[in-house]
Amino acid sequence: MAGNDAAIEAVRNVLSRLRKRRGLRSNRLDSTEIDAAALLDLRVIAQHADRLGLRRQDAVAPVLREMVRRMPATDRLIADAELALGLLDDTRSAQIDPERLYAEDLGERREYLCRQWRPLHEAVKAETIPPAPTLSQLRRTPEHRAFTELARLLVDGTTYGSHPADTTAGTGDQVRGRVTVVGDAVIDHLYRVERIPQAHSTATGSFIAHPGGKGLARAVALARLGLEVHLMAAVGDDEAGRQILDFLHDQQVRTDLIKIVPSTPTPVTAVIVAPSGEQAIIACKADPAVLTAEDLNSPATHRALRGADAVLMSFEQPVPILEHVLATVGALEPRPTLIVHAAPPVTRPERLYPHLRVVDYLIGSSDELRMLTGTAEAAWQLRMHGVETVCSIDDFGCSVRSDRLNVDIPPFPALLTGSPGAHAAFSAALAYRLLRSRHPADTGDFTWATAAMVATQSLDDVPSAMPPADRIDHIVKLASEER
């Protein structure tokens, strides 16, 4: 314990020096101005640097931001402001000026922190707000406590991006299972319009921005159902990427497999939604913000796939990455249940054909399945390639084709003609039922997953529409009573 205390003290001293002047900058770690060895040699820094192929100096900032996000509100504000980490750069509060909070001089940052103490605590939704300190008070106990706590988190070596276990969940009938999701995490620009505009036309509407992506939506849907979820995706080292990580933490999704790409913007997707639920999508993908073969070869990735009860994936990542994941999962023994959504369309889908034999459940709309196979007889062709079960989803209804089932599940009553989150909810609900029964899905399981799609009817952001299990149960119950 004494050795740990000495290490914490050494790291705290480095952090105290780094906060001076402009705060944390990687070039200050390169200079001889500060002996940062105690910080750079930490396991948590080395692991993150190795995983992303970064210099340790460049891994410090993202790791520190992650650790500071875990701290209590007051300690978090002090560390964020004094190190100039920028966690509140994107705040929309009229009472907070990020330029002054992250000013180039430490004294200015301290003064602003003391002056705006209550609004800053309100901005981070602090449960309790201690009395505002004077400048001299801040420099004594509060600063010492905050930087000691940050040093302790770093020395403890908690894997960067991991999320603490949820100890508040009940243990009654909760389904236990671990799911790894491979897909995208993006910022959705959601445009709610009176109608989908045609060429040479204008439509009026409103706009919101929110974390989204097929991978992220499935991860959130699974977490809402009480499952342990790890998301494998890539984001940029920008405010949008930090917003995504914060959102996933709030949703109880583990982020230890999310790659943060330096000097790269987080991808953006434009989702245009009409009042009927009809939608159009424009994917503005930043090519560098994707997974690579090196990411998939990491020990952490292999542990996540090997230790999963189920793996969910879409076609958002590049085809070589999809091939790699399918081949890796296919080689595992025992093999996790593999649920694949055949979207978005891929170029040269024939490259995936040799791997389809490892897919347990392939999900998509009729159009998506047709684009994957090039034929209207998609279900038959896909089963010929070895897919165990094909689920065709259209208009909130589902058709299932396998050796065991040949069933068409009609849509549940719905107010909208479509929902951006329907397919994510279906995939997550199917995984939940599979992990609950530990048997191949039957008609009841597909019915439950179909009901989950109706529960997502919303014109707001996609992840927020993902339903909990009791909501899906309620829809199934009402429908059975009506029939």
What is the pTM (predicted TM-score) of this model? 0.64
Predicted local confidence at residue 168, as pLDDT? 34
Buried b (16+ CB within 10 A) or exposed e, 100-109: ebbbeebeeb
Predicted local confidence at residue 117, as pLDDT? 94
C-alpha 66/C-alpha 44 separation (Å) is 11
C-alpha 315/C-alpha 317 separation (Å) is 6
Predicted local confidence at residue 6, as pLDDT? 83
Q: What Rg do the C-alpha atoms of the chain give, in angstroms?
A: 24
Amino acid at 394: D
Helix axes 422-437 and 443-454, enclosed angle (nearest 10): 150
Amino acid at 98: P
How high is the mean pLDDT in each 10-residue block of the chain (483 residues)?
Answer: 70 88 73 77 82 78 85 91 85 79 90 93 85 90 89 70 36 70 90 81 81 94 94 91 90 90 86 74 69 86 91 93 94 94 92 95 96 93 96 94 94 79 95 93 95 84 87 87 64
List, as one string, the DSSP characters of 71-125: S-HHHHHHHHHHHT--TTTT---TT--HHHHT-SSHHHHHHHHHHTHHHHHHHTT
Tell me the pairing of strands 361-364 and 337-341: parallel
Tell me if 427 sits within 8 A of 218, measured CB to CB.
Answer: yes
Q: How far apart are the first and last CA of the chain?
A: 66
Amino acid at 28: R
Q: Using CA of residue 286, residue 292, residue 298, residue 300, what is the dihedral sign? A: positive
Buried b (16+ CB within 10 A) or exposed e, 341-357: bbbeebeebeebeebbe
Predicted local confidence at residue 159, as pLDDT? 40
Tell me if 219 sits within 8 A of 181, measured CB to CB.
Answer: yes
Q: 247: alpha, beta or left, given left = phi > 0 and alpha = psi -120 to 50?
A: alpha
List, as one string, the DSSP characters of 369-406: HHHHHTSS-HHHHHHHTT-SEEEEEETTEEEEEESS-E
C-alpha 286/C-alpha 292 separation (Å) is 14
Which residues have CB under 8 Å from 304's CB, separation 6+? 180, 230, 232, 256, 257
Amino acid at 459: L
List, as one string, the DSSP characters of 107-174: HHHHHHHHHTHHHHHHHTT-S--PPPPPHHHHTTHHHHHHHHHHHHHHHHTPPTT------SS--SSP
